[in-house]
Amino acid sequence: MPDASPRPEPFTPQTAPAALDDLRTRLRLTRWPDAPEDAGWSLGTDLAYLRELVAHWADGFDWPAQEAALARLPRFRVPLGGLGIHFVHQRAVAPAGPALPLVLNHGWPDSFWRYAKVVPLLTDPGAHGADPADAFDVVVPDMPGYGYSDRPTGPAPDSIAVAGLWAELMDVLGYPRFGAAGGDIGSGVSRYLALDHPDRVVAVHRTDAGAPVFTGDPADLTPEERAWLGDTAGWGAAEGAYAAMHRTKPQTAAFGLTDSPVGLAAWIVEKLRAWSDCGGDIERSFTKDEILTNVTLYWLTGTIGSSMRMYGANGAIPPAQHARRVEVPSGFSLFPGDITRPPRAWLERTANVVRVTEPARGGHFAPFEEPELYAEELRAFFRPYRSAATG
């Protein structure tokens, strides 16, 4: 019988000049809103900064050069679950021993872009001043509805379904056992990989514990846990309007954000600034070209609406799923500029914690903001589990 397993095909997108001409025309014809004097970032994206960024997008930003830079990563597409899935697959370069397979899981508002800087550090540590024995085979998929993966025509998948797809992807790539890591939505995907495929996931690393869900008696929580739950609720009231929109009425926002590149940039840039360890100056964490590469990926793929719809799917995950404890060895790197940093007691309540660190710098997008620090966190955490996957 012929082999019926899906076959990855090399993938190198090349944007048509007409699409870039259309983008620049829209940028130059932007109808700008007003803003109160000295509002800055207090009401959302700062008008003056966005004007500056958009001027560069229209007349200085070189998308073909950024597209070519991303093409240096080995990229593929493969049919899984009725969808075409895009992923980076970079094998270890001259490893000193067997390489550990590792799937890296992104979140919103990004894609495989989140890990673009860190892939070379993980696949070729010897070339970056680290131990060649710490090399990984790295897989970075775009979730359905993100980046260059297909947009689902039906209901968006939740993190449980995406974890199932990635288990299948790792099987297609010939990895019976592997590590998993991620943050934001990717933290949840990594968690469900460990929960639903514990025979395959040797260890799981996360940069957060996800949005807390607790249905038990608050008296059973430590004071630190209760304080953290209160702080998280307060953050949601002050900063969570975007998530409420994504979860409840994403299609309404999608009309404007899909039609207006400036609207799209405003929606994303505010989060890049607020969630990074930039001290209020977004360009301490990202250059203009880096910001615009992420935003242009969303624009050209038309995925802002489909990416937002995943919030509703995840919001419908039953509480019983959130109550499950991860028994696979788990590590957490809690970066100082991230949205929220759970206490150790909560981490141990929800996972088999073997390592918790607090790096000196970095935020929600640590793999992009601080790739060297993030790579070292992964090398150190996964070092004891290499033989479990490769032996």
The per-residue pLDDT for 97 is: 84
d(CA 234, CA 225): 14
**115 tagged catalytic:** no
**374 tagged catalytic:** no
The per-residue pLDDT for 19 is: 98
Does any domain span residue 19? Answer: no
Q: CA torsion angle for 39, 41, 47, 51 (degrees, to 10)?
A: 150
DSSP state of 151: P
Does any domain span residue 87? Answer: yes
The per-residue pLDDT for 2 is: 40
Map residue 228 onto helix, strand or coil.
Answer: helix
Does any domain span residue 15? Answer: no
Does any domain span residue 316? Answer: yes
One of 298, 311, 374, 385 is an active-site residue; which one?
311
The answer to whether the beta carbons of residues 137 and 97 sit under 8 Å apart is no
The per-residue pLDDT for 3 is: 53
Give percent helix, percent strand, percent coil of the chain, each to the nearest 5.
50, 15, 35
Query: Which positions ≥6 away from 92 have C-beta within 8 Å?
Result: 99, 123, 124, 135, 136, 137
The per-residue pLDDT for 391 is: 63
One of 197, 338, 364, 374 is an active-site residue; which one?
364
Does any domain span residue 184? Answer: yes
Does any domain span residue 9? Answer: no
* Predicted TM-score (pTM) of this structure: 0.97
Q: Domain range for residue 332?
A: 39-390
The β-bridge partners of 77 are 9, 86
One of 46, 110, 184, 208 is an active-site residue; which one?
184
Map residue 232 onto helix, strand or coil.
Answer: helix
Does any domain span residue 127? Answer: yes
The per-residue pLDDT for 1 is: 37
**311 tagged catalytic:** yes
Does any domain span residue 28? Answer: no
CA angle 208, 306, 253 (to 5 degrees): 95
Q: pLDDT tens string for the chain (391 positions)?
A: 345 789 999 999 999 999 999 999 999 999 999 999 999 999 999 999 999 999 999 999 999 999 999 999 999 999 999 999 999 999 999 887 889 999 999 999 999 999 999 999 999 999 999 999 999 999 999 999 999 999 999 999 999 999 999 999 999 999 999 999 999 999 999 999 999 999 999 999 999 999 899 988 999 999 999 999 999 999 999 999 999 999 999 999 999 999 999 999 999 999 999 999 999 999 999 999 999 999 999 999 999 999 999 999 999 999 999 999 999 999 999 999 999 899 999 999 999 999 999 999 999 999 999 999 999 999 999 999 998 877 6
The per-residue pLDDT for 96 is: 78
Structurally, the chain folds into a number of domains equal to 1
CATH number of the domain that 177 lies in? Answer: 3.40.50.1820
The answer to whether the beta carbons of residues 167 and 317 sit under 8 Å apart is no
